[in-house]
Chain A
Amino acid sequence: MTLAALTREWRAFSYGFLDASAKREIRRGLVKAVAIPGYQVPYASREVPIARGWGTGGLQVTLTLLNPRHVVKVIDQGADDSVNAASIRRFLTRVSGAAATWDTLAASLIQSRHRVPEEVLRDDQILVLQVPNPEPLRPVEPNMSIARQMHADADYGRLWLTLYEQIVRSGRVMHGAAYPSMVNGRHVMAPSPIPRWDVPKLHMARHLTILSAGREKRLYAVPPFTRVEPLVFDDVPYRVEDHAGLTCHRSGLKGYFMNEIPQDGGAAFEVSDSHLGIKAIRRRDGEAVVIGETWYRNGEMQR
């Protein structure tokens, strides 16, 4: 017997790029994140071959979870063919051997920047959201060690105060994307900059959502069947973007989150979940295409 027979051949990189110690740390972090919904778990956050701020947190989680049996979907702002999504998808398949898809229904693992797909996710699917800023308290407390203390004390008074001030100044809540939301009645989280339209999709969902910020070195999770409640006052209801009445000028879909495309003399709209749009066009053209059940119907969130 030789030494060579006992070891694997040297390779420049491990399977799935990250080495085993990095994956182990993330797995442990994920277990903790699932056990304490909404709590930000610090992790070392290794460098990966894409720039920080470009999805390195999501990428590390996806690389840890991926195996060759997975079918992965990557979207950026709702689109599969967006340049950074294409880059991440190419990297993931290259280092893991997993299959790739654009179809939400076919995916087992979805890495997304700033959108939750419109088709309802199942309990055998995992959604990994890329997070630029994991700290909902950042606007009121930029210092992370103080913010950590405030979470420990469930001290969210200053967040409520900013909401109140917005109502007084502007007549409405002015929080756009990344709407601060209470998870499991304990920790307020930044649900990554998904639009307000998408936050209710996380509430009591069947799927697991993992949120990971590579640059800021924090990961957190919304386990299945967990309450996710946007911070609102009893007399000022939560409002999603006013997109219920908009129609996609390409696919004809109506009642989903839209991209606004400036045109001469006005604007056109196209559905932000690009593959849903593609499926609708194909169906219109006579192809047998399966479109899954969607969270919203006729612009109304279904519960």
Chain B
Amino acid sequence: MAYVATRGGEHAIEQAERLYRAQMGTITPTRVAEIERALPHLIDRVMGEASLYAPDLAALALAQAGGDLYEAILLLRAWRTTQPRGQIAAPVRQEESLAHRRISAAFKDIPGGQILGPTLDYSHRILATGVVNGSDFVPPPVTPAAKPAPAHHPSLAAWQKAQGLVDDVAATPVERDKIPDVTREPLLFPAQRAHSLQSLARADTGGLLALGYSAMRGYGNAHPTVNELRLSEADVRVRHPRGTEFSAGRVRTSQAEVVTTRGNGTLKLGFAATLGWNEVKVIAAATLDLNAPGAPKNSPVNEEFVLYHTEPVEASGFCIHFKLPHYVTFQSALDNLRGARVAPQPAKAEEPA
């Protein structure tokens, strides 16, 4: 059976996997808990792209994948898709969620006020090298504000609508249980609004940033101004079998609303939201949402182009699939090349008119 033995096969792939896992060693509950505690923003990013709000499972996926984000997201997505969909929670309304941070770049002050909340925006990015030399980095404690910020804020767009600056979108009400779900239905174009927003919420942060940034630099048709950026905690309101509504817990959410002044008399809005706190993602996604209407097919801000190419599981999977053998297709193309080389080239005069 020399024919078989000379090839890799099952033994090889098993050993290759062991070699990879050996790098990480034993995964203990302590390690998973530490990842969850120490890396909240990584956990948020992974939960958003996996579209599964489960910090402990996200930490486990990160531990299991040794920090490879695409692997971690695939682990979570493959788990998520097998789980029954118990019910659909009530829509989250921004004025009802608990805002930790809420800023606007469009106005100096806004109804409800600018709330900085937790951010590294104005920090000096200096590596705490003391830790490498053996001393702890202890962040200075937060001084509570004399007057606590209000927990709930109206939406800025509501004020703008009242002022006639933003067109009130004629939204078709959808029954809560009939909200389309892109994880259970194919994404077709032109996409349903729910499918687009869900796809953006699940999209690859880096992919959205690359395309969103290209739009910001001028490959799009609208320059964004951040109308409102929010980091919140939202109640997940579900129905008890007896009919009462109750909160099953809170999830961290981010949302961004960007506007462009380019238009005829009114501001045009772009919107995106995701699970977890991930500001880069929602600003880039909202910018793409702003640019999508009317974008030419195959432009980098066209909806189909954006949504197909920022799907993290699909994009990363296809990229790494090129490692698979392709010798059948290669052989087939080689046959053509050799055939074309020996085939007599038609003389110029014989070329069809």
Instruction: Give the bracket for the number of chain B residues in contact with chain A.
Output: 35 or more
Asked if A174 and B331 make an inter-chain contact with CB atoms under 8 angstroms apart, the answer reads: no
Cβ contact of A242, chosen from B4, B80, B335, cutoff 8 A: B335
Residue of A nearest to B186 (CB): A42
Max chain B CB contacts within 10 Å: which of A79, A115, A243? A79
The answer to whether the Cβ of B352 comes within 8 Å of any Cβ in the partner chain is yes
Asked if B329 and A242 make an inter-chain contact with CB atoms under 8 angstroms apart, the answer reads: no
Asked if A83 and B329 make an inter-chain contact with CB atoms under 8 angstroms apart, the answer reads: no
Instruction: For B338, list chain A residues within 8 Å (CB).
Output: 242
The answer to whether the Cβ of B3 comes within 8 Å of any Cβ in the partner chain is yes
Considering only residues 174-218 of chain B, those with a C-beta below 8 Å from chain A are 182-190
Asked if A81 and B9 make an inter-chain contact with CB atoms under 8 angstroms apart, the answer reads: yes
A22 in contact with B328 given A47-B74, A171-B344 (CB within 8 Å): no
Interface 1/0 per residue, A154-177 and B, CB below 8 Å: 000000000000001011111111
Instruction: For B326, list chain A residues within 8 Å (CB).
Output: 77, 114
Asked if A17 and B82 make an inter-chain contact with CB atoms under 8 angstroms apart, the answer reads: yes
Asked if B339 and A242 make an inter-chain contact with CB atoms under 8 angstroms apart, the answer reads: yes
A76 in contact with B324 given A171-B344, A177-B333 (CB within 8 Å): yes
Interface 1/0 per residue, A251-282 and B, CB below 8 Å: 10000011110000000000010100110010
The answer to whether the Cβ of B163 comes within 8 Å of any Cβ in the partner chain is no
The answer to whether the Cβ of A187 comes within 8 Å of any Cβ in the partner chain is no
Asked if B327 and A52 make an inter-chain contact with CB atoms under 8 angstroms apart, the answer reads: no
Instruction: For B83, list chain A residues within 8 Å (CB).
Output: 19
Instruction: For A283, list chain B residues within 8 Å (CB).
Output: none
Considering only residues 222-259 of chain A, those with a C-beta below 8 Å from chain B are 239, 241-243, 250-251, 257-259
A51 in contact with B320 given A78-B328, A81-B4, A86-B9 (CB within 8 Å): yes
Instruction: For A54, list chain B residues within 8 Å (CB).
Output: 317, 321, 324
Instruction: For B183, list chain A residues within 8 Å (CB).
Output: 44, 46
Instruction: For B298, list chain A residues within 8 Å (CB).
Output: 142-143
Asked if A114 and B329 make an inter-chain contact with CB atoms under 8 angstroms apart, the answer reads: yes
Asked if B334 and A260 make an inter-chain contact with CB atoms under 8 angstroms apart, the answer reads: yes
Nearest Cβ on chain A to B182's Cβ, whole angstroms: 8
The answer to whether the Cβ of A139 comes within 8 Å of any Cβ in the partner chain is no
Max chain A CB contacts within 10 Å: which of B1, B12, B328? B328
Asked if A272 and B328 make an inter-chain contact with CB atoms under 8 angstroms apart, the answer reads: yes
Report how far A54 CA is from B129 CA in the complex, Å. 43
Report how far A145 CA is from B325 CA in the complex, Å. 31
Report how far A77 CA is from B328 CA in the complex, Å. 6
Instruction: For B351, list chain A residues within 8 Å (CB).
Output: 168
Report how far A145 CA is from B187 CA in the complex, Å. 11
Interface 1/0 per residue, B304-346 and A, CB below 8 Å: 1000100001101111110011111101111110111001111
Asked if B7 and A281 make an inter-chain contact with CB atoms under 8 angstroms apart, the answer reads: no
The answer to whether the Cβ of A194 comes within 8 Å of any Cβ in the partner chain is yes
Asked if B82 and A79 make an inter-chain contact with CB atoms under 8 angstroms apart, the answer reads: no
The answer to whether the Cβ of A101 comes within 8 Å of any Cβ in the partner chain is no
Instruction: For B173, list chain A residues within 8 Å (CB).
Output: none
Instruction: For A217, list chain B residues within 8 Å (CB).
Output: 186-187
* Given A197-B332, A257-B331, A272-B331, 20 new contacts (CB under 8 A): A17-B82, A46-B183, A47-B77, A53-B314, A82-B325, A83-B8, A83-B12, A114-B328, A114-B329, A145-B297, A170-B343, A171-B340, A176-B336, A177-B328, A193-B328, A193-B329, A195-B329, A242-B335, A242-B339, A258-B331
Can you list 11 residue pairs at the A/B interface with Cβ under 8 Å? A44-B185, A46-B81, A46-B183, A52-B317, A54-B324, A132-B318, A143-B298, A143-B304, A171-B346, A177-B333, A281-B3
